[in-house]
Homo-oligomer: A and B are copies of this chain.
Amino acid sequence: MFYLIGLGLGDAKDITVKGLEIVKKCDKVLLEGYTSILTVGKDALEDFYGRPLIVADRELCESNIDDFLKEAKTNDIALLVVGDPLGATTHTDMLLRAKEYGVETQIVHNASIMNAVSCCGLQLYNFGETVSIPYWTETWKPDSFFEKIVGNHSRNLHTLCLLDIKVKEPTEESLTKKVRQYMEPKFMSVKEAAKQLVQIVENQTDTGISKSSLAIGLSRVGAPDQKIAAMSLGDMQNHELGAPLHSLVIPAPELHPLEIDYLAQFR
């Protein structure tokens, strides 16, 4: 059997009882380590589970997972994924490949930022489509996600913005070399996201979203040191929200009275 197990968002104890039982009985357990992170690392998870984990980077998940999938025909193999295991397309693709090999699969769901974002007091059914904000470079400044934020905003819907994560990304220089070198991991902060957004709203002025629009920054949702801050997008450019992961919400222009009351504590 091949298991995809969600770890939730905070620490080792955010796994479900069902998930933990499976982890303990599996022959091999992989830890997916590049689409998201917990507030604790591999060591803390190994301590808590009482067993070793194999780190699965992008290369393993996208190109070398087949060996594990084939092995799952006769053995129990689990892949642990931060949040819910079906948040990223890679994992859906894995399930399809498993099916091709005739391997049975089971999914153990858990909280993901897509539902836990409700901790800021905005109601989930008032969210439109989710967007991802990528890191800009000197020469590459994509802003197509902004159109979706504007679309949600114009229909009075909130937008959850997932912020870029770079883990084990090869350096540009090493792409042509034999020995691959990797960049330091980096995680976009709400500060950085707000800066990129402000650059966009300064160029696109008739969208209904400006520097003075409300923005909500969230960090380490589900962890004891979770932080939530509500202020203008302009001010968010200078607001430090601590260790990763961060997410940003651009709320609808008109909020429900309960949403306003709840948000007040974060202003």
Contact = CB atoms under 8 A, between A and B. Distances in A.
Interface of A: 6, 8-18, 20-21, 83-84, 86-87, 89, 92-93, 95-96, 99, 107, 109-112, 114-116, 118-119, 121, 123-132, 151, 155, 157, 162, 221-222, 256, 258, 261-262, 265
Given A15-B16, A125-B130, A109 B9 contact: yes
B129 A84 contact: no
20 contacts: A6-B111, A9-B109, A13-B16, A14-B17, A16-B16, A16-B17, A16-B110, A17-B17, A86-B115, A87-B115, A96-B262, A110-B110, A111-B111, A114-B124, A115-B115, A124-B130, A127-B130, A128-B128, A128-B129, A129-B157
Nearest to A221: B109
User: Which 9 pairs between the two chains have the least Cβ-Cβ distance?
Assistant: A109-B111, A86-B118, A13-B18, A13-B17, A109-B116, A112-B115, A114-B115, A125-B130, A84-B115
Contacts of A20: 17
Contacts of A89: 123, 256, 258
A3 to B, nearest CB: 13
A115 B111 contact: yes
Contacts of A112: 111, 115, 124
